[in-house]
A and B are shown apart, each in its own frame.
Chain A
Amino acid sequence: MRKIYGFHGGIHPPENKHQSLRSPIADAGIPPELVIPLSQHIGAPSRAVVAVGDRVLKGQMIAEPSGFVSVPVHAPTSGTIAAVEDRQIAHPSGHAAPCIVIASDGRDQWIEHGGKADYTSLDKAELLERIRNAGIAGMGGAGFPAAVKLSVKPDIKIETLIINGTECEPYITADDVLMRERAGEIIEGTNILRHIVQPHETLIGIEDNKPEALAAMRAAAEGSDIDIVEFPTKYPSGGEKQLIEILTGKQVPSGGLPADVGVICQNVGSAVAIRDAVVDGRPLISRITTVTGEGVAQPQNFEVLLGTSMHYLLDKAGYSAEKNRRLIMGGPMMGFTVPSPDVPIVKTTNCLLAPAESELPTPPPAQACIRCGMCAEACPVTLLPQQMFWFAQGKEFEKLELHNLFDCIECGACSWVCPSNIPLVQYYRASKAEILQLRRDTEKSEHSRIRFEARQERLAKEEAEKEAKRAARKKAAEERAQQAATAGGDEDPIQAAIERAKAKKAAQQAGGGEVSELEKLEKAVATTRKRLETATGKLETAKAEGSDLVEALQTGVDKTKAKLEAAEKALHDYQQANSGEQAKPAAPTDAAQAAIEKAMAARAADASLSPEDKARGQLEKLRQRLEKSRTKLAESRENGDEEKIIEALEATVERLSQKVAEAEKQLQETEGA
């Protein structure tokens, strides 16, 4: 028996899982229309490669990835492209996003596809490519592309591969039924993952409230050295960091990745999707979604095509809108309220929860914090939620960070136990967003300060150079005048000869200075060239190995190339300027300056094209919107507007802050990637 380590805190909310476990997985069928968002994952959205009117087959790629942290999108069924346009999607903000709309023809006609049953003949790079091409991302709910997660640097050794079958959120049973009904496929997928990561040990972690799933998985894993680990039910055991701690006793360092402690984690749903992609060549076009809550007559699990409207799926389970107070995507602890039931099911939709008001009542207004410490006891990350709440109220951001606000996983355990009903997690979300914004702002002002100072310096330098030139010209004129004057008088040939010799020597000396300038430039060219060579070499090997770093290396090479060009140009300019008889004293500096400026311009241009900047731009816009709605809210509060209006505005502000937070998160990830 394996040692179970456990983690700090945690809670035991009512599970409410039995409702949706009464019947096996049902097929949700083919809806008349599918709306497929281009961004169903964390990272850059995919690019549509089809046009309105195109006929597509089931499994055909309809959008391609647009970066390393991106995945393609496939047609879930055959039909015609009806539109490529912005539609409302399942997002807490309720915003619209680019989608591809397919009018299905009901024939469900597959595109030619094929897998490789003998996956062991494929190497790691090929397998990762297949996984990425199948569009597998975030079956567990976070939406991270599986291939990215599996691409660890070659110098990191993965000790433990963990397959997450925990599913600790109340109500959700999608993974549970998957393990019950498709244990064999999960094990097959797990074996493919093992082939990719080559771990020492492979663990599948399942909570003890799923005895059927445990039995099925144990039977399927019989004879392999995959370890099915059962451990006591507690929320949030399914959190990646928590599960890693439970099974290995290791903690992922703050701000780090599981790979830093030699662990890779994948969800059971991802394991099946990976198996389908590799063995059958079937891309990710459907998933298991739990439909539950008192708002539906027959709660159960569906295998549903991505892009199916939530309404369509809810109707299959006997949805009654009157009974349902709000529709939640995900579970009651971490899910979010869906803006409208017309939005489509996406890769991360593990559950549709349609609770009655009595089931998940609207929380009463918050009371004062009595510092009871129940939140601290419940926190799986060992934070002090009440202190953070205190600081969040006072906007003491420094203290918040000292209290490790950014380690909060927003699991909601603290809010759940708080006897005073304080929406703690909301405070943390808002504070995180605000801190990130402040950071971005100071960064920006720091940038512009540096830029400003550089400009000032350059101007001063130019001014000084001009001044020097003017002085030199004046002196030359004077000398000429003097010479003319002397020539006019008794010419002393010896004196003149000495003068000339002196002048020559001086010129040589000056030339010596120029030589060193020249050397500098030549050296710059040489080193840059060398760097380019190494970078290109690395890129080649990476390409040959099919490493995931190719993209990053490519940009590196491009940048170095630009630098080299600039350096060469500078050298060339300098040589030209000096090939003439009389070198202008200011020329070398000018040329170097120009080179630097050009390089800077190139870099700037480069940067302006980067996804980061784009994301930044978007974020900026979002922030502006948030600001606007905040002011509006304040205004209507002041005017004493109707409760409803204020509520609506509050909701908008909340939504926008969330969006901002998400955009920030995404940006951070792009920056990190």
Chain B
Amino acid sequence: MRITSPHAHGPMSTPRVMLNVLLATVPGIVVMTHFFGFGTLVNILWGGLVAVACEALALKLRGRPLGFYLKDYSALVTATLLCIALPPYSPWWLIAVGIASAILLAKHLYGGLGYNPFNPAMAGYVILLISFPVQMTAWAPPRGVGELPGLLEALQACFTPAAFDGVTMATPLDVMKQNNSLLVKDLWQQNPQFGRWAGVGWEWANLAFLAGGAWLLYKRIFTWHAPVAMLAALTLMAALFNDGGSSASGGSPLFHLLSGATMFGAFFIVTDPVTSAVSVRGRLVYGAMIGALVYIIRVRGNYPDAVAFAVLIMNFAAPFIDYYTQPRTYGHQRSGGGE
């Protein structure tokens, strides 16, 4: 019996937050499946299984009650987010290694949900990217550009990867980065993977994740500060260095907003409460710096997409941001902690 106040509690619960996040990924997953085939779905199904197993194992090793903690759905969220980020038709072991790194290393080694300094999905992603760069950059061509494998082939690709002979193709972000001779306009004409605003498929997937994010915002699962700051910073950077579409151009703001993991990152990764800054001002800073980093890494770095790296770097910085952005308490002149 709780003797002390408050005796009442609001309607929100952590499992509900997690379920809402899972639900909000659905439109994005549907669009990705439409454009890239069943690969993403197979990723998620297999990844989810591995995640629950890893979570159960970790809880058991740490002597925690299984049922209670599994019910917070956080492992499923991590798995879903990582599997969306992985290339479709990834082999089973790649997924398993990624999930195990995410759940065991990035999450439970640090003390479990709420104690992890790094976003587990992004940590798993980066570990894979560094260890298996070939598999991690093998993206299938989108519908209308290449042949889409069927469900059976997708399963085959995952579980008997040796027998699967998938076609891969450079992503629009790759093409844009490697370009050094063509005007952006010509680039667009010569490469079939470019669509209306950005990459074929990619642009719609980004819009779908944006829709999911907007729904979460509406449900007040998180606040607008971090994602909006990230998108704004990315837009600003792209606009500054767009260069009118010359061969040295980094790509237009619209191209960057609708390419790669931009929207997915903005609404499903940057908003991860555990690893971001906590105050309103802190979240603005945190999001904006991720947006700027994403652009810099995309255009100047060695990797095609940059959301994962940018997020991990800022995960590092989050505690400092918190320290310097402590809000002013009622009845105080200035913030108490930030000197």
Contacts and interface: CB of A to CB of B under 8 A. Distances in A.
Interface of A: 7-8, 11, 13, 92, 170, 241, 245, 251-256, 325-326, 328, 330, 332-337, 355, 360-363, 365, 367-374, 376-377, 380-384, 386-387, 402-404, 407, 410, 412, 415-421, 423, 425-426, 429, 647, 651, 654-655, 658
Given A241-B330, A415-B6, A416-B6, A651 B1 contact: yes
B278 A373 contact: yes
Contact of A251 (B74, B115, B331): B331
Given A253-B331, A407-B331, A426 B68 contact: no
A369 B336 CA distance: 23
B330 A251 contact: yes
Nearest to A365: B68
Given A337-B1, A373-B223, A651-B3, 8 more contacts: A337-B4, A355-B7, A367-B69, A370-B274, A371-B274, A372-B273, A381-B330, A416-B10
Contacts of A241: 330-331
A11 B10 contact: yes
Contacts of B14: 367-368, 370, 419-421
Contacts of A363: 2, 9
B246 interface: no
B3 A337 contact: yes
A404 B283 CA distance: 21
Contact of B6 (A255, A355, A425): A425
B331 A256 contact: yes
A336 B331 contact: no
B12 interface: yes
Contacts of A325: 1
B55 interface: no
A335 B331 contact: no
B185 interface: no
A380 B330 contact: yes
A336 B5 contact: yes
**B3, B7, B74, B273, most chain A CB atoms within 10 A:** B7
Contacts of A372: 17, 221-222, 273
Contact of B8 (A254, A333, A367, A426): A333
A398 to B, nearest CB: 11
6 contacts: A373-B273, A384-B278, A384-B326, A419-B12, A419-B17, A654-B4
A377 B336 CA distance: 18
Contacts of B115: 368
A335 B5 CA distance: 6
Interface string B307-339: 000000000000000100011111110001100
Given A370-B14, A370-B17, A370-B114, A404 B332 contact: yes
A365 to B, nearest CB: 7
A62 B330 CA distance: 42
Contact of B13 (A383, A419, A647): A419
**B4, B221, B274, B328, most chain A CB atoms within 10 A:** B4
A335 B3 contact: no
A374 B10 CA distance: 11
Contact of B9 (A170, A415, A658): A415
Contacts of B279: 373, 376, 384
**B5, B13, B112, most chain A CB atoms within 10 A:** B5
Given A370-B17, A370-B113, A412 B278 contact: no
B72 A328 contact: no
B300 interface: no
Q: Which 6 A-B pairs have the closest CB atoms?
A: A412-B6, A368-B114, A332-B8, A254-B331, A372-B273, A381-B330
Interface string B58-89: 00000000001100101000000000000000
A383 B322 CA distance: 13
A391 to B, nearest CB: 11
Given A368-B112, A370-B114, A372-B273, A328 B7 contact: yes
A412 B5 CA distance: 7
A385 to B, nearest CB: 10
B184 to A, nearest CB: 40
B220 to A, nearest CB: 8
A341 to B, nearest CB: 15
Nearest to A325: B1
Interface in B8-40: 8-10, 12-14, 16-17
* Prevailing SS type, chain A contact patch: loop
A655 B2 CA distance: 11
B331 A425 contact: no
Contacts of A371: 114, 273-274, 276, 278
A204 B10 CA distance: 30
Contacts of A328: 7
Given A377-B223, A403-B326, A332 B7 contact: yes
A654 B5 CA distance: 12
A81 B24 CA distance: 69
Given A368-B72, A373-B278, A384-B278, A334 B9 contact: no
Contact of A334 (B6, B222, B332): B6
Nearest to B283: A373
Interface string B216-245: 000001110000000000000000000000
**A241, A376, A429, most chain B CB atoms within 10 A:** A376
B298 to A, nearest CB: 28
B330 A407 contact: yes
Contacts of A335: 5, 7
A249 to B, nearest CB: 12
B3 A654 contact: yes
B6 to A, nearest CB: 3
Nearest to A353: B7
Nearest to B71: A367
A168 to B, nearest CB: 13
A654 B332 CA distance: 30
Contacts of A380: 330
A368 B330 contact: no
Nearest to A170: B8
Given A371-B114, A382-B328, A407-B329, A421 B4 contact: no
A175 B72 CA distance: 42
A92 B222 CA distance: 36
**B13, B68, B221, B331, most chain A CB atoms within 10 A:** B331
**A330, A403, A419, most chain B CB atoms within 10 A:** A419
Contacts of B16: 419
Given A372-B17, A381-B329, A426 B4 contact: yes
B237 to A, nearest CB: 26
Contacts of B322: 387
A658 B130 CA distance: 54
B6 A407 contact: no
Contacts of B12: 374, 417-419
Contact of A13 (B2, B10, B112, B221): B10
A382 B327 contact: yes
Contacts of A253: 331-332
Given A386-B278, A403-B326, A404-B329, A370 B273 contact: yes
Given A368-B115, A386-B278, A332 B6 contact: yes
A370 B273 CA distance: 6
B8 A382 contact: no
A328 B223 CA distance: 35
B330 to A, nearest CB: 4
A330 to B, nearest CB: 8
Nearest to B275: A371
A407 B69 CA distance: 33
Nearest to A7: B330
Interface in B273-315: 273-274, 276, 278-279, 283
